[in-house]
């Protein structure tokens, strides 16, 4: 029998959905149009290397077929590069896709996830979708992760801890020695996720954290509660293809595979990543160029009296508090997109030299009052 329609149709409550997700913030990415300079998404300003583009053009003939769900060729290449068994590696649709899977295998409703805050904005939302309780641990006064405070926040209900380094959006990094001291205080049944989406931009730091090397060393010692994440989205310029990878103990890797969405890593993404690994020299040169530009932009901002923490990523953090949204609007008026975190600050991606010059020119026209408390843009013209 067909249900009546119109005014005679009985009212319906609609499908039953989880009301605890009502307040979940929407992730709002952006795509800069031709008239805008996009410095808001931490993308590479460079197109993929020519060899990657060539590999992609030769792969389109097979798009009628499903991709290799095991990503065997890419996994083998990554295993060789990092000196680990293939059984310790998993791929996902960006490192954030692997974050989803890690929460799925570690957390049930009521379990706790510890995140530094401010950090990657989707961590709390991902945890909430699993019904987990999020415990935010404030950053230090220097905008860095407070690892001792994070260790102290671990309780009997804690199942997973995110350590983002370099931290998004502040750009600050933690050292390997600091992470090792932190791990010594973490119970072995708590999963620690080292999120290193920007690791390729940290080569100039003292005692840098190489999460893959640390996890590899721990696995050789039989310690299995730490995983490391990397991505091809940033340094390799493949953000549009969504491919990340994870190093973990084999039992963890197996569980990640069990909860993976079938065929989530497409054939073009796999082909591009394999080709990108053959362009390591070019990728490293691009990273060095962006690091040079990052330091140039930071120096200019410091000279202008701005507070800009040291960054190990391809972006800079301006902790301008209540002026964040006004500053972002001011940049938009100058055709520049930056990422505002209302009441906290603004994250600015490092672009090409010309893009960075345009940003610095716009920033120079922004006149703060006091300590950014009531900032105002100067008029155009």
What would the pLDDT profile of 158-167 be if each residue is shown by its tens digit?
Answer: 999 999 999 9
Q: What is the mean pLDDT of residues 313-319?
A: 98
CATH 3.40.640.10 intervals, the chain = 50-277
Q: Out of 97-111, 319-333, 364-378, which region has the weakest mean confidence (pLDDT)?
A: 364-378
- pLDDT value for 203: 75
Q: Residue 25's pLDDT band (boundaries 50, 70, 90)?
A: confident
Q: What is the mean pLDDT of residues 73-88?
A: 97
| CA 174, 199, 345, 126 torsion-angle sign | negative
Q: Which pTM value belongs to this model?
A: 0.92
Q: Residue 29's pLDDT band (boundaries 50, 70, 90)?
A: confident
% of the chain exceeding 70 in pLDDT: 91
Q: Tokens 């060095």, residue?
A: 288
Q: Out of 141-145, 159-163, 205-209, 274-278, which region has the weakest mean confidence (pLDDT)?
A: 205-209
Task: Supply the CATH classification number for the domain 28-46+281-377.
Answer: 3.90.1150.10
CATH 3.90.1150.10 intervals, the chain = 28-46+281-377
Question: Please, which residues bridge with residue 245 across strands?
Answer: 91, 230
Write out pLDDT tens, residues 335-346. Answer: 999 999 999 999
Asked if the model's pLDDT at residue 269 lies above 80, the reply is: yes
Q: What is the mean pLDDT of residues 189-215?
A: 92
Q: What is the mean pLDDT of residues 19-30?
A: 79
- pLDDT value for 361: 97
Inter-CA distances, 47 with 166, 232, 273, Å: 23, 13, 14
Asked if the model's pLDDT at residue 33 lies above 60, the reply is: yes
Which comes out higher in pLDDT, residue 337 or 7? 337
- pLDDT value for 373: 40
Q: What is the mean pLDDT of residues 262-291?
A: 97
- pLDDT value for 18: 86
119, 124, 130, 134 alpha-carbon torsion, rounded to 10°: 100
Inter-CA distances, 238 with 227, 241, 304, 361, Å: 22, 6, 34, 29
Distance CA 271, CA 56 (A): 7
- pLDDT value for 370: 40
Asked if the model's pLDDT at residue 375 lies above 80, the reply is: no
- pLDDT value for 204: 67
Q: Out of 32-36, 219-223, 239-243, 349-353, which region has the weakest mean confidence (pLDDT)?
A: 32-36
Distance CA 338, CA 333 (A): 11
Compute the radius of gyration of the chain from its Cα atoms: 22
Strand order from edge to edge, sheet including 315-318? 315-318, 345-349, 339-341
- pLDDT value for 374: 40
Q: What is the mean pLDDT of residues 353-363?
A: 98
Q: Residue 12's pLDDT band (boundaries 50, 70, 90)?
A: low
- pLDDT value for 133: 97
Q: How many CA atoms lie within 13 A of 171 on its CB side?
A: 25
- Topology of domain 50-277, CATH: 3.40.640
Give the single-character DSSP code of 127: H
Asked if the model's pLDDT at residue 2 lies above 80, the reply is: no
Q: Residue 14's pLDDT band (boundaries 50, 70, 90)?
A: confident
């Amino acid at each position: 029998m067909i249900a009546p329609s119109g005014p005679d149709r009985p009212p319906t409550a609609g499908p039953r959905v989880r009301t605890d997700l009502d307040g979940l913030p929407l992730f709002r990415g952006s795509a800069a149009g031709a008239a805008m300079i996009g410095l808001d998404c931490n993308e590479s300003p460079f197109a993929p290397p020519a060899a990657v583009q060539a590999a992609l053009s030769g792969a389109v003939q097979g798009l009628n077929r499903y991709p290799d769900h095991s990503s065997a060729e890419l996994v083998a290449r990554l295993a060789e590069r990092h000196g680990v068994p293939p059984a310790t590696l998993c791929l996902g649709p960006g490192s954030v896709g692997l974050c989803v899977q890690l929460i799925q295998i570690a957390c049930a409703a009521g379990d706790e996830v510890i995140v530094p805050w401010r950090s990657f904005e989707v961590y709390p939302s991902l945890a909430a979708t699993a019904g987990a309780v999020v415990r935010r641990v404030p950053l230090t006064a220097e905008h860095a992760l407070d690892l001792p405070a994070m260790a102290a926040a671990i309780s009997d209900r804690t199942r997973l801890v995110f350590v983002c380094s370099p931290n998004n959006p502040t750009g600050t990094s933690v050292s390997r020695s600091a992470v090792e001291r932190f791990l010594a205080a973490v119970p072995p049944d708590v999963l620690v996720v080292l999120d290193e989406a920007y690791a390729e931009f940290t080569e100039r730091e003292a005692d840098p954290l190489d999460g893959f090397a640390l996890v590899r060393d721990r696995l050789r010692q039989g310690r299995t509660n730490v995983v490391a994440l990397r991505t091809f989205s940033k340094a390799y310029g493949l953000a549009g293809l969504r491919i990340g990878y994870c190093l973990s103990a084999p039992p963890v890797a197996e569980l990640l595979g069990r909860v993976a969405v079938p065929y989530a890593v497409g054939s073009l993404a796999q082909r591009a990543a394999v080709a990108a690994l053959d362009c390591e020299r070019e990728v490293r040169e691009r990273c060095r160029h962006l690091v040079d530009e990052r330091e140039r932009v930071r120096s200019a901002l410091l000279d202008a009296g701005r507070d800009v923490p040291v960054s190990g990523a391809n972006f800079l953090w301006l902790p301008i508090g209540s002026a964040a949204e006004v500053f972002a609007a001011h940049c938009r008026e100058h055709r520049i997109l930056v990422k505002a975190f209302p009441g906290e600050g603004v994250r600015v991606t490092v672009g090409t030299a010309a893009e960075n010059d345009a940003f610095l020119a716009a920033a120079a026209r922004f006149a703060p009052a006091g300590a950014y408390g009531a900032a105002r843009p100067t008029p155009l013209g």
